[in-house]
């Protein structure tokens, strides 16, 4: 009976996955007359290569600091270290990611692929904000909606609606909401502040673009997780609530002693599902910002697609996929370990 299912899973999941791992060790391109060559872990080094370089400030002959117009210390040009410098072979081809100063010396963190590093960072920020916020909000909605009230099904349907609409359509709609000139959000804020609010191009500004996508993503899938919480709530026996009412538990105590412990397994499930989905952030980016402005909304999956298909660099895209797989796998293992049943 399981035969066809196993075959399909093998065909569409396992085989491509093994392919991806294999391709990540080659220099295969999407369409290329040359045969692919085995390149070892080159692709991984190209993506993940990170190094630090600590430089002392430039001093003049008398040993005084050379300062620029603003009065800040100056440092030797990085280019001298990262362009074919035989003393620093490991830094070849790297670029500055960020830097910080300890005392006088300045430490530069260099990366082979600064854009990919930004993509990893953005994705992690996205996950760290979306997972707790979406899970918590969904639980709150589920608790509010898990009541015997007339018309409660209408509310359930309304909250669930964004889930059934395609994410692409939702993203297009939110582009209008976030529009810099006459977007709904700007109009609303102008109305609430009696016209004193200066319109913001939410998706076109480096500081607000990722935040705007986070808010929209939380809103879009919150209904889905609400439904999972609801199903968890239904598994808690009503007599337990009656028993706690007789014992005199307040609303908060009932939640703490009856509801929350009863939702343990649901919570683990939701946390893992949201984390996975959040790591896969792509469609919203593709429709709303395409990684911009200034790479402020680059993400891991968007990078994988852009390289694999946009730049026809199939092996690079595969490598990113394998890296993502490793990240997600280790995070779910850690989550499972942290939330294991303690005996």
CA distance linking residue 218 with residue 209, whole number of Å: 14
> Judged by CB, which is closer to another protein: 196, or 250?
250
94 token code pair: 């790297």
What DSSP assignment string belongs to 216-232?
HHHHHHHHHHHHHHHHH
E-strand stretches of the chain: 50-55, 95-102, 105-111
CA distance linking residue 280 with residue 300, whole number of Å: 8
Per the CB < 8 A criterion, the answer to whether 134 and 218 are in contact is yes
Biggest alpha carbon–alpha carbon distance for the chain:
85
Region of residue 106 (phi > 0: left; psi between -120 and 50: alpha; otherwise: beta):
beta
Strand partners, 108: 53, 99
Does residue 329 sit in helix, strand or coil? helix
Look at the alpha carbons of 319, 325, 328, 331 in this order and tell me if their dihedral is positive or negative. Answer: negative
> Judged by CB, which is closer to another protein: 262, or 293?
262
Q: What is the DSSP letter of 1?
A: -
Contact positions toward another protein, by CB under 8 A? 237, 239-240, 242-250, 253, 257-258, 261-262, 264
258 token code pair: 């009856």
Q: How far apart are the first and last CA of the chain?
A: 38
CB burial of residue 133 (10 Å; 0-12, 13-18, 19+): middle
CA distance linking residue 78 with residue 168, whole number of Å: 42
Q: Closest approach of Cβ 213 to another protein, in Å?
A: 38
CB burial of residue 99 (10 Å; 0-12, 13-18, 19+): middle
């Amino acid at each position: 009976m399981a035969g066809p299912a196993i075959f399909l899973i093998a065909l569409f999941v396992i085989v491509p996955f093994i392919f991806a791992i294999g391709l990540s060790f080659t220099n295969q391109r999407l369409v290329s007359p040359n045969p692919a060559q085995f390149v070892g872990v080159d692709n991984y080094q190209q993506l993940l290569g990170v190094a630090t370089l600590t430089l002392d400030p430039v001093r003049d002959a008398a040993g005084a600091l050379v300062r620029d117009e603003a009065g800040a210390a100056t440092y030797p040009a990085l280019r001298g270290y990262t362009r074919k410098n035989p003393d620093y072979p490991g830094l070849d081809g790297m670029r500055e990611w960020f830097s910080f100063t300890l005392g006088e010396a300045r430490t530069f963190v260099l990366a082979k692929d600064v854009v990919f590093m930004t993509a990893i960072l953005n994705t992690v920020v996205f996950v760290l904000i979306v997972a707790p916020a979406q899970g918590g909000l969904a639980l709150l909605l589920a608790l509010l909606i898990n009541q015997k009230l007339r018309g409660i099904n209408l509310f359930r349907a309304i909250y669930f609606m964004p889930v059934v609409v395609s994410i692409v359509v939702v993203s297009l709609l939110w582009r209008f909401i976030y529009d810099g000139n006459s977007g709904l959000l700007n109009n609303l804020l102008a109305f609430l502040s009696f016209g004193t609010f200066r319109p913001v191009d939410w998706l076109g500004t480096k500081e607000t673009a990722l935040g705007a996508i986070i808010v929209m993503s939380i809103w879009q899938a919150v209904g889905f997780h609400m439904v999972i919480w609801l199903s968890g709530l239904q598994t808690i026996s009503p007599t337990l609530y009656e028993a706690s009412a007789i014992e005199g538990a307040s609303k908060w105590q009932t939640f703490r002693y009856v509801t929350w412990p009863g939702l343990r397994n649901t919570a683990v499930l939701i946390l893992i599902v949201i984390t996975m989905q959040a790591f896969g952030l792509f469609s919203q980016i593709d429709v709303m910002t395409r990684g911009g402005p200034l790479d402020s909304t680059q993400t891991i999956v968007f990078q994988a697609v852009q390289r694999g298909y946009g730049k026809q660099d199939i092996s690079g895209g595969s490598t990113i996929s394998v890296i993502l797989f490793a990240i997600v796998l280790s995070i779910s293992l850690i989550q499972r370990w942290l939330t294991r049943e303690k005996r």
